[in-house]
Amino acid sequence: MEKIKIKDRVLTGDRPTGRLHLGHYLGSLKNRVKLQDEYQTFVLIADIQALTDYYDRTEIISKSVFELMKDYLAVGIDLNKTTICLQSMLPAIHELTVLYMNMVTLAQIQRNPTVKEELKNKAFKQSPPLGFVCYPVSQAADITAFGARFVPVGEDQLPIIELAREVVKRFNRLYKNSPLIEPTAILGEAKRLPGIDGQAKMSKSLNNAIYLSDSQQELKEKIKKMYTDPNRIHANVPGKVSGNPVFIYHNAFNSDKAEVKDLKTRYQTGKVSDTEVKEKLFKAMDNFLAPIREKRQSYDGQEKELLEILIAGTKKADEITKQTLNSVKESMGLVRW
């Protein structure tokens, strides 16, 4: 991976449409906590992008802004190292989006793998909102507005980062003295965490997620329902470990690697029950989630304090994004005063 310089910025973010889950943690949150120790890090709460399919449920967006902030702080986002800001209060981003729309074709958007996949999972049918279709351009504006060189993402978001790179390359070819930097994606350690129903991806919309804020009882019930090897009818039947969601979770969250190795061996030889494998997974995951859950609960009822944090971070981000916009306009030769 390209060496990151101390002056480089990292940008990441989430749409405020609900709480964050373990897929978010492995895909991006864990990297955010790691990167903030060395680099100037910004976390953008993308409430404008959330409107693309929640425009008629804005109360969910408003509530989820604070839910996201609790999740961020609970997993270890440090406000002395990371700036949290709100997209809708950063007008420079929206103006950059309009400018970039002239550099991206509809065909580019339509063949983008991430857009195509998300359209399948939405209830738009044949009439997706224009805002949704254009959201990759908005994300390019997010990234470039902050001058971010690195963006921690999950594997499914790589095509979006590539589109942002294409926008920057085209802009830099067209205009002199461009301030835009080509961003590079930083992948999480897990490519994609399957849902508890065995689906390829953990997702809020598929209702197959384990949330960072789940109670101990909720966690226990979800693990009980988890898919394993469908061909393994009895405990004495050898089972498959590869691709088995329960063992994917063991690999990711069970710190006792000797126990995981033993469970795999016994599972493959028909010497352990699914019940025991799940019970030990619950214990391991509860040990992982308990401190996160406890810290998150400490922010319950603290919306006023969370809002003050968000306002301060957004003011800082506003100055940076405005500087980028002014430099972009100057590079394009647009009349300014």
pLDDT digits (tens, 9 = 90+) for 84-94: 999 999 999 99
State the average pLDDT for the chain.
Answer: 91
Buried b (16+ CB within 10 A) or exposed e, 232-247: beebeeebebeebbbb
- Which pLDDT does position 125 carry in this prediction? 66
What is d(CA 45, CA 67) in angstroms, rounded to the nearest whole number? 11
Q: Contact, 57 vs 244, CB < 8 A?
A: no
**Pair 63, 168 in one domain:** yes
Task: Give a yes or no: residue 204 inside a domain.
Answer: no
**Pair 106, 183 in one domain:** yes
What is d(CA 33, CA 307) in angstroms, rounded to the nearest whole number? 21
Q: N- to C-terminal Cα distance for the chain?
A: 41
Please, which pLDDT band fits residue 306 given cuts at 50, 70 and 90? very high
The DSSP annotation for 208-268 comes to ---BTT--HHHHHHHHHT----TT--STTS----TT-HHHHHHHHH---HHHHHHHHHHHH
CATH number of residue 177's parent domain: 3.40.50.620
pTM: 0.90
**Pair 25, 64 in one domain:** yes
Angle at 60 between CA 318 and CA 89, to 5 degrees: 10
Task: Give a yes or no: residue 326 inside a domain.
Answer: yes
Give φ, ψ of 84 to 5 degrees. Answer: -100, 130
- Which pLDDT does position 111 carry in this prediction? 87
- Which pLDDT does position 269 carry in this prediction? 95
CATH number of residue 227's parent domain: 1.10.240.10
Q: Most confidently modeled of 151-160, 164-173, 201-210? A: 164-173
**Pair 266, 175 in one domain:** no
Task: Give a yes or no: residue 207 inside a domain.
Answer: no
**Pair 186, 257 in one domain:** no
**Pair 85, 128 in one domain:** yes
**Pair 158, 186 in one domain:** yes
Q: What is the pLDDT of residues 6-59, one digit of tens each?
A: 468 999 999 999 999 998 998 889 989 999 998 999 999 999 999 988 899 999
Structural domain that includes position 75? 9-193+303-332
Residue whose C-alpha is closest to residue 211's, from 42, 84, 68: 68
**Pair 163, 277 in one domain:** no
Buried b (16+ CB within 10 A) or exposed e, 142-158: bbbbbbbbbbbbbebbe
**Pair 111, 27 in one domain:** yes
Beta bridge partners of 151: 185
Task: Give a yes or no: residue 49 inside a domain.
Answer: yes
Strands 40-45, 82-86: pairing is: parallel
Beta bridge partners of 148: 9
**Pair 118, 265 in one domain:** no
Token digits of residue 75 = 């997993």
197 or 282, greater pLDDT: 282
**Pair 42, 179 in one domain:** yes
Task: Give a yes or no: residue 222 inside a domain.
Answer: yes
Task: Give a yes or no: residue 1 inside a domain.
Answer: no
Token digits of residue 132 = 């949704």
332 sits in the region (left: phi over 0; alpha: psi -120 to 50; else beta) called alpha
- Which pLDDT does position 335 carry in this prediction? 83
Task: Report the chain's C-alpha Rg in angstroms.
Answer: 22
Task: Give a yes or no: residue 337 inside a domain.
Answer: no
What is d(CA 181, CA 168) in angstroms, rounded to the nearest whole number? 7
What is d(CA 104, CA 184) in angstroms, rounded to the nearest whole number? 19
- Which pLDDT does position 1 carry in this prediction? 47
**Pair 43, 158 in one domain:** yes
**Domains: count for the chain:** 2
Residue whose C-alpha is closest to residue 154's, from 203, 199, 196: 203
